[in-house]
A and B are shown apart, each in its own frame.
Chain A
Amino acid sequence: MTCDEGRELVQRSVDNDLDSQETALMNEHLRTCPDCSALFDRLTLLSSNLAELPRVTPPFSLVDAILPRLELIDAGNGGAAQAAGYAADYAEQAPVAGSVDAAAAESAQAPLAAPAAGDELARRRRNRSTTRRILAAIAAGIVAGLVIVAAPTLLHDSSSDNDSFALSEAPAAKQRAASESSAAGEPASGYEMAAPSSESGEVAPQAMEEPLRANSSSADSGSASAGEGDAKASSSADEPEQLQGLAFGSAIPSASPSPSAGSAETNKALGAGEAAGGSADQGLTAGDQSESLGDTVTGSIMSVPFAEPLTWISPDQKLKAVAEEHRVSVYRMEDGTLVFQSVLHDGEELSSIYWEQDSSALRYSWKAEDGSFTDLVWTVSTNAESPAGTNSAQSSASAK
């Protein structure tokens, strides 16, 4: 036996993978070969050391920690499923939008599968309380103004219902923008009806104002319809009339930027789907199909938003973040002075940007050509940019 063969046997013996005959062969070789014999001793020791590594357990129940997010996901999926049916009603975009929605609704098979998935999800959700649904819808409304593109960094914000809701909801909602563009005109009046219904409602309109003004990019329509997705999810169940207002209300932003919404609007809206694909990558909602579909559809489209700078106003209305080509700048709303300007990120795309809800920081993420991400955070109080570390969840949680 050669030492090569001997080593292989030694390695396998460490894994208890030898039969008795092979064991005998190995032992015979070990008797005559000090090298392999030493290897046997060391690997056996290493292997037992490895087997004794502490079986670490999480310091708290992870399932308990994600329960709120799971509930929001249930609600969000309902929105996606509902929207799939919605898309079918507006048949112009149905072939494409329908399938994206289907993927978001986890069926990931074909456009036709969407309604079926919706039924199943609706069943799973049946016993949600009305209050919860309404709250979720309101939360979505608030978040709609904040989340422009589904942000991978959001995934870290495990402790915040609103943030995590945005995550679960945004992909579905954005994809829905495609199907919404034709439908959005009708229900503008619903907004006034819904907005005053809670204090959160008052925040939402402000948050949505800027996306309206900014321009008609995909990010706008995507984020604006995030709220609407959940409202529909909610209304899909038992009390449609109560929530209809909210649902329609948030449709305004996607209608207004480009009332003449031809196929261009559709393309842009689909662009938002790419963000959803990114999110799916993180595993929150959509299946593989939505990822690939998103990618195919958009590869070239995502660069469009840089044609005109996009603007994000902080929730307290004091600062304005502007995505200029390959860099982020922050201006004071009051007098337009430049507060901060990031370095140029040549060859990288801005993949997400959003303000912390308390306006304490701006988070954004650059996606390099190789698909890697750089997550950064600019803190208002220190006027400093720093990598968004793994503590982001903690800091954002404690900030609230």
Chain B
Amino acid sequence: MVELDLIKAAQAGDRDALVELLRGIENQVYRTAYYLLNNEQDALDASQEALIKIYTKIHTYEEKAQFRTWVQRIVTNLCIDKFRRIRPSVSIDEHELIFESKDNVEDEVLSVYASEEIREAIGKLPEHHRSVIILRYLQDFSYNEIADSLDLPLNTVKSYLFRARQQLQTLLRDYQKGGVRG
């Protein structure tokens, strides 16, 4: 409600309200950028760009969308553009999973992965899978909110999310097998 008032004031041209609104979202913007780009400096650049974009485009926000999904749409689009420029994306086939056979499953030891490893693994996902995972776990978005943010159909969101989790699992298991961890 407070946020809504700020948005309305900001759209009516109240600059202070707009700045306050930005202060309220800067952490969530940064968090997405940080995990999407996997690099602090890039994340700082991208989230500042995103905040500026929000500042200049606030009047285009319409209430039918949730403000936070609108914000996340801006920041994910910006980051995706940015990391397309910074580095070539991982081929979607590279970690395409045929679900592992039974003996693999039995060999596997369940373990808690270090957040550093998880972050690295997220960084290896194709961009849309990465976005979906980040919105789900770092913004606590529902399927619908993710769909709104990324402008994807609901079923696509689910299939990206499910596949991303399987890919992460494979990647993290490979880390272990590679002896990264004892």
User: Which chain B residue has the least Cβ–Cβ distance from A108?
Assistant: B60
Query: Counting CB contacts under 8 A, is B31 at the interface?
Result: yes
- A283 contacts which of B29, B49, B158 (Cβ < 8 Å)? B49
- B30 contacts which of A41, A45, A62, A281 (Cβ < 8 Å)? A62
Q: Which of A49-57, A89-97, A254-262 contacts B (4 or more CB under 8 A)?
A: A49-57
Bound-complex Cα distance A284 to B54 (A): 9
Bound-complex Cα distance A12 to B26 (A): 30
Q: Which of B62-70, B164-172, B174-182 contacts A (4 or more CB under 8 A)?
A: B164-172
Minimum C-beta distance from A250 to chain B (A): 24
Which residues of A lie under 8 Å from residue B14 when comparing CB positions? 124
Interface string of B5-46 (1 = CB under 8 A from A): 000000001110001001100110111001100011111110
Given A53-B118, A124-B15, A284-B52, CB of A58 within 8 Å of CB of B44: yes
Bound-complex Cα distance A34 to B137 (A): 27
Query: Counting CB contacts under 8 A, is A237 at the interface?
Result: no
- Cβ contact within 8 Å between A66 and B31: no
- Cβ contact within 8 Å between B51 and A63: yes
List the count of A-B residue pairs having beta carbons below 8 Å apart.
Answer: 154
Q: Which of A70-78, A209-217, A239-247 contacts B (4 or more CB under 8 A)?
A: A70-78
Which residues of A lie under 8 Å from residue B138 when comparing CB positions? 53, 55
Which residues of A lie under 8 Å from residue B27 when comparing CB positions? 55, 57-58
Chain B interface extent, by class = 35 or more
Bound-complex Cα distance A17 to B144 (A): 12
Minimum C-beta distance from A71 to chain B (A): 9
Which residues of B lie under 8 Å from residue A298 when comparing CB positions? none
Query: Counting CB contacts under 8 A, is A11 at the interface?
Result: yes
Minimum C-beta distance from A101 to chain B (A): 15
User: Which chain B residue has the least Cβ–Cβ distance from A44?
Assistant: B110
Given A50-B133, A52-B115, CB of A77 within 8 Å of CB of B56: yes
Bound-complex Cα distance A158 to B41 (A): 12
- Cβ contact within 8 Å between B137 and A53: yes
Bound-complex Cα distance A66 to B118 (A): 31
- B168 contacts which of A46, A66, A73, A375 (Cβ < 8 Å)? A46
Given A42-B169, A62-B30, A63-B19, CB of A51 within 8 Å of CB of B45: no
- Cβ contact within 8 Å between A61 and B74: no
User: Which chain A residue has the least Cβ–Cβ distance from B30?
Assistant: A58
Q: Label chain B's interface by main secondary structure.
A: helix
Bound-complex Cα distance A22 to B99 (A): 23
Bound-complex Cα distance A283 to B119 (A): 27
User: Which chain A residue has the least Cβ–Cβ distance from B29?
Assistant: A62
Bound-complex Cα distance A116 to B23 (A): 28
- Cβ contact within 8 Å between A46 and B172: yes
Bound-complex Cα distance A77 to B55 (A): 12
Which residues of A lie under 8 Å from residue B15 when comparing CB positions? 74, 124
- Cβ contact within 8 Å between B47 and A283: no
- Cβ contact within 8 Å between A34 and B102: yes
Bound-complex Cα distance A55 to B56 (A): 27
Given A62-B47, A124-B13, CB of A45 within 8 Å of CB of B26: no
- Cβ contact within 8 Å between B49 and A47: no
Bound-complex Cα distance A63 to B27 (A): 10
- Cβ contact within 8 Å between B53 and A283: yes
User: Which chain B residue has the least Cβ–Cβ distance from A119?
Assistant: B13
Which residues of A lie under 8 Å from residue B96 when comparing CB positions? none
- Cβ contact within 8 Å between A393 and B45: yes
Which residues of B lie under 8 Å from residue A61 when comparing CB positions? 23, 26
Bound-complex Cα distance A67 to B45 (A): 14
Given A49-B112, A52-B115, A57-B27, CB of A73 within 8 Å of CB of B52: yes
Query: Counting CB contacts under 8 A, is A381 at the interface?
Result: no
Which residues of A lie under 8 Å from residue B165 when comparing CB positions? 11, 14, 43, 46-47
User: Which chain B residue has the least Cβ–Cβ distance from A157?
Assistant: B45
Bound-complex Cα distance A42 to B143 (A): 21
Query: Counting CB contacts under 8 A, is A20 at the interface?
Result: no
- Cβ contact within 8 Å between B115 and A55: no
- Cβ contact within 8 Å between B47 and A58: yes
Question: Would you list the 9 A-B pairs with minimal beta carbon distance, nearest first?
Answer: A283-B53, A50-B137, A124-B13, A11-B162, A58-B30, A390-B41, A38-B105, A62-B26, A63-B22
Q: Hey, which bits of chain A sit against chain B, CB under 8 A?
A: 7-8, 11-12, 14-15, 17, 34-35, 38-39, 41-43, 45-47, 49-59, 61-63, 65-67, 69-70, 73-74, 77, 106, 108, 120-121, 123-124, 155-156, 158, 281-285, 287, 372-373, 375, 390-391, 393-394
23 chain-A/chain-B pairs, Cβ below 8 angstroms: A11-B161, A15-B161, A17-B143, A34-B102, A42-B108, A46-B113, A51-B137, A53-B138, A55-B27, A55-B138, A56-B31, A61-B23, A62-B47, A62-B51, A63-B26, A65-B48, A69-B52, A70-B19, A73-B52, A74-B15, A282-B78, A390-B45, A393-B41
Q: Hey, which bits of chain B sit against chain A, CB under 8 A?
A: 13-15, 19, 22-23, 26-27, 29-31, 34-35, 39-45, 47-53, 55-57, 59-60, 74, 78, 81, 84-86, 99, 102, 105-106, 108, 110, 112-113, 115, 118-119, 133, 136-138, 143, 158, 161-162, 165, 168-169, 172
Apart from A49-B113, A77-B56, A158-B44, what are 18 other A-B pairs with CB-CB below 8 Å? A15-B136, A17-B143, A34-B105, A35-B105, A38-B106, A41-B110, A43-B165, A50-B133, A52-B115, A53-B119, A57-B27, A58-B30, A61-B26, A66-B51, A74-B15, A120-B13, A156-B45, A281-B81
